Amino acid sequence: MIVVMKRGASAKQLAEVIAKIEADGYAAHLADGDDNTLVGIVGEGRGAFQQAEYEALPGVARVARVTVPYQLASRQMHPRDSIIPLNGKPMGGDNVLVIAGPCSVESRENLLEIAHAIKEAGATALRGGAYKPRTSPYSFQGHGEQALKWLAEAREQTGLPIVTEIMDANLVPLVCDYADVLQVGARNMQNFTLLTAVGQSQHPVLLKRGMSSTIEDLLMAAEYVLAQGNAQVMVCERGIRTFEKHTRNTFDLNAIAVLKALTHLPVIADPSHALGLREYVPQVSLGAVAAGADGLIVEVHSAPDEAWSDGRQSLTFEQFAAMMASVKQVAQAIGRDA
Amino acid sequence: MIVVMKRGASAKQLAEVIAKIEADGYAAHLADGDDNTLVGIVGEGRGAFQQAEYEALPGVARVARVTVPYQLASRQMHPRDSIIPLNGKPMGGDNVLVIAGPCSVESRENLLEIAHAIKEAGATALRGGAYKPRTSPYSFQGHGEQALKWLAEAREQTGLPIVTEIMDANLVPLVCDYADVLQVGARNMQNFTLLTAVGQSQHPVLLKRGMSSTIEDLLMAAEYVLAQGNAQVMVCERGIRTFEKHTRNTFDLNAIAVLKALTHLPVIADPSHALGLREYVPQVSLGAVAAGADGLIVEVHSAPDEAWSDGRQSLTFEQFAAMMASVKQVAQAIGRDA
Amino acid sequence: MIVVMKRGASAKQLAEVIAKIEADGYAAHLADGDDNTLVGIVGEGRGAFQQAEYEALPGVARVARVTVPYQLASRQMHPRDSIIPLNGKPMGGDNVLVIAGPCSVESRENLLEIAHAIKEAGATALRGGAYKPRTSPYSFQGHGEQALKWLAEAREQTGLPIVTEIMDANLVPLVCDYADVLQVGARNMQNFTLLTAVGQSQHPVLLKRGMSSTIEDLLMAAEYVLAQGNAQVMVCERGIRTFEKHTRNTFDLNAIAVLKALTHLPVIADPSHALGLREYVPQVSLGAVAAGADGLIVEVHSAPDEAWSDGRQSLTFEQFAAMMASVKQVAQAIGRDA
Amino acid sequence: MIVVMKRGASAKQLAEVIAKIEADGYAAHLADGDDNTLVGIVGEGRGAFQQAEYEALPGVARVARVTVPYQLASRQMHPRDSIIPLNGKPMGGDNVLVIAGPCSVESRENLLEIAHAIKEAGATALRGGAYKPRTSPYSFQGHGEQALKWLAEAREQTGLPIVTEIMDANLVPLVCDYADVLQVGARNMQNFTLLTAVGQSQHPVLLKRGMSSTIEDLLMAAEYVLAQGNAQVMVCERGIRTFEKHTRNTFDLNAIAVLKALTHLPVIADPSHALGLREYVPQVSLGAVAAGADGLIVEVHSAPDEAWSDGRQSLTFEQFAAMMASVKQVAQAIGRDA
């Protein structure tokens, strides 16, 4: 439920509404509407919800029902775009931000080379895997903390904030020591233990859509993080599993448009995983931006064909630089910047 | 197989190659490469293919294998973009063309009103269903020939060429009398009887991807039309069936990029059917254009909520006009026009 | 809508109900319920439906709404199992019937050899393709009428009725001259022109589920045939398209159980196309029978590895005979026979 | 790679092979073939694999390549069925075992009532959720350790072993204190942290297929557990996500047959989650058993319509008892018992 305050409601009236919400066993969530302040009523309270009692409070215009199962993630409860700062730029604002880097961190030298190259091309943040979710237990599982240290060094040299995946709730404190954004991967989108842990961390979270998760599932997963009081969640379309075999996954362009309408959270596109084939990454990136994505996350490597993982979908430096120029053009065509 | 002629090969040498192809029981298909003339060898010939015999012919540079199961539809056999003229504009060329109109033709007045409105907004062609594939035998099945006559009248008044769906091979001559482009719908994409019939008509064909057809299936269906000697085929991504329930189908953005690489045929996007929800049609349209689509086909209605079919996904005149302006901007951003 | 007649309603009262239905512009469809006669009201009548007028007629117990979009295909309008005789045995009755044979009819001798072998193993009918829907226009498209003649000869020798696919509405009269059952394949499940034509033929129809068709879509397609007055429709689960790559399609076992509940039409399973791999066909066949399928249709070949099409999924004679013995066992375990 | 020992190879020769495997940095995995002992070579060794060196060892017949990416889970490396004892009965042997119980443990009394009822009907083990993976953070998340205590009490009273889901690697020791089998749910099938933790526990594991996981993905997930030295893994088909909307998921019957061929691990079917609709659970259960499933896991509740979760798919006691009788019949029809 949402309590919509009257336009001129006083701070005291607002405080009384919040006090009642908490007294009833719920949590209150404040948001600005176009003209009104909204107070979301979240969670399971004591007894049945007494709508009339809230409507009778001074300063209350009306009480509205949230018609979707996610609450904090919904536009209904939070009409304005949420902005998450990334290296001084606002993810979710006028700019289209680009996160780039290797699939996995392979070596210090290689990572630094890539970091400098993507920075020069205009990237906003550096991605790189320290802990890798691999289908096979016998595959390279990532360099772990050593990789985190190299990522931190790359940030020091380039100023680019670090985005890296986390798979183990126990490692949240360690990864937070090094990373700027915690990525939750597609395979863990409904790992509720992990979602709760990253929620408690209060670190920005980049949450990828599971490969067979609906848009609603994705927003419910975001809700797990938000429900821990961590408002800094970005959601990411990275392709879903379908019958199509030519590409690794299917990039659901509808999802970009629908997510922008249903949620206030920044929406990011990952064309690299959606395609699995680097030659199409620039076109799909442009499509995602034109459809309204707030950001991109793409895999870039100094020598893709020698990459330890995901080489087939990683851009070369040249491809990435060319793509960045086009992204800028398309962003401007829809009134944004990149 | 493809015979690649030497750069300076003579017409006589070319004629000899073609003669041998036909003598061996195949059909020959001519195309320009960057510097060379290519001669495709299509169909099932007599006996095993004798590559060395072709390589020994004067003027032949080499013989290459087509590595995909579709032949005439492939870029390998036909490197340059095919262009299909539509109302004096080239579908498949520098322009992004937009086909618009109602789902089904409801009445003469309504159709004319819509035709004038989309023309004013910049559409290149008028779509409208005379024969409707309906899931239920009890639903409105279209006004048939009467609707074709109204479509012809709309063309007369506006100059817009007519795109209309055909479901019955027996009706090809009748529909060709009125329509400029024959649309083969998603449900009939593998109706090989119909594909052969529209192929024989030599009328331009707009072929929609089946809702569970792979990209390769789509190109094989196009091959059925091309194999009849009809080179004017446009292929159309209109959304595929997945587990996602929020939208009617899932718009496969990858397919736009992949199709542009695999085939020389113009690639069109149908965001209306991919979404089923009009409010997202503009964004998905822009995404498709940015990713390289040569055209769009969108449903527009004077009063969508009263439309006899597909009203939920039809744009109003205002929405369509606004979308056209944005399409122009995005097209220009990638070096095209709209 | 369904008019439920009183238990002791007279023939005259029934005739009056039917007369009113037809006078109102609908078609009437008679069916036996457990104790009552049901009269289905089908199609689009003149003006709004006047329920009270029907309820006021003598002999009428009540008027019920059909809550599914298919009417004639539904159990609501037709509670008892429909039975379609096949070679003197009832498809849809106590027996589990098995249709078997080659994918395509290759030669007279080969077909006769297969026909005798499957008959000996206990098959009820012979399948074989005369007209083949092939993904490629360059693949073998079937021997056409010659194959139909061979099929007729095989029937003469073995007594087995013939099931063969039809793709072209124009060929319905020709195919009806030879075949006992017209098969509509998965790719044509929503070819409404063809559905109408086979409906008008009054020949038994085996309708396969489209590879991305929902259970409801399948029943709506059956409704197209039934709406032409052809009550002899069998529906067939043959696997749907999913992300799983190990098998050609995914056999939807749920669909067998659900179809048996939603429709009175016989339900058949095609494990050959669902799997694409012969080694698993016996197990999936047993599963389908145990879940309630009324029949099976399986591909059998004298030398599967040399078959012109679908060899990988065709059983050898030995495999088929062994499977038939197991099918009998499982059928008996659930109180049926095979 | 697999070292196939000669038929009469000595223990000393076997020990030498194992010693070399370990000296080369691999792990050795012993299994009986029909006549030979097989020694699997697992993991990443030092340097390139020297096949000739192994072939030269005394007692070695030959060295074979495992042609699938999973090793320990494959039939190639382990030809005979693995048997996992459950309450004195062998899961994976001649019997078809049935695990039953409520979705979530709701109260002590309710659990005990259900446990006694399913025992009386012939179930082999009791399932019940103490920790529930819920799409919404606001839904009931399970009674946790209290529920584990009630489960243990139910085991004490009925003798039925306990199967319960685990979502958090940190809780493995706690859950192992109470449960007999650790269930890893569909959403966590690729939670590699959790897979590793349950692998290290050496407790039997019931691993459910992810809703968009391929058969190969499932076996790779099993490999994660097996690679920790825990050989007691059961894999479970529980329905996959497709476009079909009538049922909650699609039961992939092919997967039962394919899994039995590809792996030696016991294969279980979960029709409750595959369907989401209790009325079809008995038929799909029979189908799974007929196709070769070693066991079933079904949801049963004393009052399904009042269940706190999954009530729509839970069987009543009467339905469950009737189903068990049919399962017995079908199992016997294929030469097994239930």
Tens-place pLDDT, residues D67-95 = 999 999 999 999 999 999 998 899 999 99
Instruction: Give the pLDDT confidence score for residue B44 in this predicted structure.
Output: 82
| Residue A144 belongs to some domain of the structure | yes
Which of A64, A94, A114 represents a domain boundary (last residue)?
A64
Task: Write out chain D residues lying below 8 Å of B245, CB-based.
Answer: 245
Burial (CB count within 10 angstroms: exposed 0-12, middle 13-18, buried 19+), residue D296 = buried
Q: What CATH number did the domain enclosing B199 receive? A: 3.20.20.70
Instruction: Give the pLDDT confidence score for residue C45 in this predicted structure.
Output: 83
Q: Do B136 and C43 form a contact (C-beta atoms < 8 A)?
A: no
Does pLDDT of A187 surpass 90? Answer: yes
Question: Are C191 and B188 in contact (CB < 8 Å)?
Answer: yes
CA atoms of C270 and C206, how far apart (whole Å): 11
Does pLDDT of B107 surpass 80? Answer: yes
> Do A240 and A143 share a structural domain?
yes
Q: Where are the alpha helices (DSSP H) in chain D?
A: 11-23, 51-55, 108-121, 145-158, 172-178, 192-201, 215-226, 253-262, 271-275, 281-290, 317-333
Instruction: Give the pLDDT confidence score for residue B126 in this predicted structure.
Output: 98
Question: Are C220 and B188 in contact (CB < 8 Å)?
Answer: no
Length of chain C: 338
Interface probe with A: pick from B214, B244, B254, most Cβ of A within 10 Å: B254
CA distances to A247, B259, C4 from B215, in Å: 10, 7, 50
For B276-307, the pLDDT digits (tens) are 999 999 999 999 999 999 999 999 999 999 88
> Do D266 and D149 share a structural domain?
yes
Interface probe with C: pick from D67, D214, D241, D253, most Cβ of C within 10 Å: D253
Q: Identify the weakest region by mean pLDDT among A6-10, A277-281, B279-283, D101-105.
A: A6-10
SS3 D62: strand
> Do A239 and A206 share a structural domain?
yes
| Average pLDDT of the residues in C161-190 | 97
For A293-336, the pLDDT digits (tens) are 999 999 999 999 998 888 899 999 999 999 999 999 999 999 99
pLDDT band at B222 (very low <50, low <70, confident <90, very high): very high
Does pLDDT of C33 surpass 90? Answer: no
Does pLDDT of B98 surpass 80? Answer: yes
Place of tokens 């019939």: B197
| Residue A137 belongs to some domain of the structure | yes
Across chain C, mean pLDDT equals 95
| Residue B73 belongs to some domain of the structure | no
Question: Are C242 and A243 in contact (CB < 8 Å)?
Answer: yes
| Residue C263 belongs to some domain of the structure | yes
pTM: 0.95
Does pLDDT of B34 surpass 80? Answer: no
Instruction: Give the pLDDT confidence score for residue A45 in this predicted structure.
Output: 83
For C70-81, the pLDDT digits (tens) are 999 999 999 999
| Average pLDDT of the residues in D18-27 | 94
Question: Are C292 and D283 in contact (CB < 8 Å)?
Answer: yes
Phi, psi of D180 (to 5 degrees): -95, -30
Question: Are C138 and B42 in contact (CB < 8 Å)?
Answer: yes
Domain that residue A51 falls in: 2-64
For C195-232, the pLDDT digits (tens) are 999 999 999 999 999 999 999 999 999 999 999 999 99
Q: Where are the alpha helices (DSSP H) in chain B?
A: 11-23, 51-55, 108-121, 145-158, 172-178, 192-201, 215-226, 253-262, 271-275, 281-290, 317-333
pLDDT band at D108 (very low <50, low <70, confident <90, very high): very high
Instruction: Give the pLDDT confidence score for residue D43 in this predicted structure.
Output: 84
SS3 D236: strand
Chain C residues bordering chain B (beta-carbon distance below 8 Å):
42-44, 69-71, 133-138, 167-170, 187-188, 190-194, 196, 210-212, 217, 220, 223-224, 227, 240-241
pLDDT band at A184 (very low <50, low <70, confident <90, very high): very high
CA atoms of C286 and A48, how far apart (whole Å): 51
Instruction: Write down the ipTM of this complex.
Output: 0.95
Helix axes B253-262, A281-290, angle to 10 degrees: 140
Q: How far is A58 from chain D (nearest CA, A)?
A: 29
Q: Which tokens belong to A144?
A: 């772990």
DSSP 8-state code for residue A227: T
Q: Which residues are A268's β-sheet partners?
A: A236, A295
Instruction: Give the pLDDT confidence score for residue D117 in this predicted structure.
Output: 98
Instruction: Give the pLDDT confidence score for residue C333 in this predicted structure.
Output: 97
Does pLDDT of D167 surpass 90? Answer: yes
| Average pLDDT of the residues in A143-162 | 97
> Do C178 and C210 share a structural domain?
yes
Q: Which long-range contacts (CB under 8 A, 24 or more apart) does C214-218 make?
A: C214/D243, C214/D244, C214/D245, C214/D246, C215/C255, C215/C258, C215/C259, C215/C262, C215/D244, C215/D246, C216/C68, C216/C69, C216/C70, C216/D245, C216/D246, C217/B135, C217/C189, C217/C190, C218/C189, C218/C259
Q: Do B182 and B228 form a contact (C-beta atoms < 8 A)?
A: no
Instruction: Give the pLDDT confidence score for residue C47 in this predicted structure.
Output: 82
pLDDT band at D45 (very low <50, low <70, confident <90, very high): confident
> Do A311 and A162 share a structural domain?
yes
pLDDT band at D97 (very low <50, low <70, confident <90, very high): very high
> Do C102 and C57 share a structural domain?
no
Q: How many domains does chain A have?
A: 2
pLDDT band at A113 (very low <50, low <70, confident <90, very high): very high
Q: What CATH number did the domain enclosing D37 receive? A: 3.30.70.1140
> Do D30 and D159 share a structural domain?
no
Phi, psi of C256 (to 5 degrees): -60, -50
Instruction: Give the pLDDT confidence score for residue A238 in this predicted structure.
Output: 98
> Do D125 and D13 share a structural domain?
no
- Across chain A, which distance is largest between two alpha carbons, in Å? 67
Does pLDDT of A32 surpass 90? Answer: no
Q: Identify the weakest region by mean pLDDT among A181-185, A226-230, C47-51.
A: C47-51
Does pLDDT of B70 surpass 90? Answer: yes
Across chain A, mean pLDDT equals 95
> Do C240 and C195 share a structural domain?
yes
CA atoms of B278 and B275, how far apart (whole Å): 7
| Residue C338 belongs to some domain of the structure | no
Instruction: Give the pLDDT confidence score for residue C15 in this predicted structure.
Output: 94
Instruction: Give the pLDDT confidence score for residue D229 in this predicted structure.
Output: 93
Does pLDDT of A34 surpass 80? Answer: no
pLDDT band at B47 (very low <50, low <70, confident <90, very high): confident
Q: Do A190 and D193 form a contact (C-beta atoms < 8 A)?
A: no
Chain A residues bordering chain B (beta-carbon distance below 8 Å):
212, 214-216, 239-240, 242-247, 250-258, 260-261, 274-275, 279-280, 283-284, 286-292, 326, 329-330, 332-334
| Average pLDDT of the residues in D96-124 | 97
Instruction: Give the pLDDT confidence score for residue A301 in this predicted structure.
Output: 97
| Average pLDDT of the residues in D201-209 | 97
> Do A20 and A165 share a structural domain?
no
Q: How far is C194 from chain B (nearest CA, A)?
A: 8
> Do B25 and B145 share a structural domain?
no
Rg (CA), chain B: 21
| Residue B79 belongs to some domain of the structure | no
Question: Are A290 and B292 in contact (CB < 8 Å)?
Answer: no
Angle at A166 between CA A160 and CA A172, to 5 degrees: 95
Helix axes A317-333, A108-121, angle to 10 degrees: 30
Interface probe with D: pick from C238, C253, C259, C260, most Cβ of D within 10 Å: C253
Task: Write out chain C residues lying below 8 Å of D242, CB-based.
Answer: 240, 242, 250, 252
pLDDT band at A36 (very low <50, low <70, confident <90, very high): confident
Question: Are B190 and C133 in contact (CB < 8 Å)?
Answer: yes
| Residue A156 belongs to some domain of the structure | yes
How many CB atoms within 10 Å of residue A19? 12
Does pLDDT of C159 surpass 80? Answer: yes
Q: Do B279 and B271 form a contact (C-beta atoms < 8 A)?
A: no
| Average pLDDT of the residues in A138-150 | 94
SS3 A200: helix
> Do B169 and B109 share a structural domain?
yes
Chain C residues bordering chain A (beta-carbon distance below 8 Å):
212, 241-243, 245
How many CB atoms within 10 Å of residue B59? 19
Residues 6+ apart with CB under 8 A from D151: D105, D111, D126, D128, D130, D162, D164, D178, D179
Q: How far is B254 from chain A (nearest CA, A)?
A: 6
Nearest CA in chain D to C68: D246
Does pLDDT of B268 surpass 80? Answer: yes
Q: Do B242 and D242 form a contact (C-beta atoms < 8 A)?
A: no
| Average pLDDT of the residues in C156-181 | 97
Q: Please give the share of chain D, as a percent, with pLDDT higher than 70.
A: 100
3-state secondary structure D134-179: CCCCCCCCCCCHHHHHHHHHHHHHHCCCEEEECCCHHHHHHHHHHC
| Residue B201 belongs to some domain of the structure | yes
pLDDT band at D166 (very low <50, low <70, confident <90, very high): very high
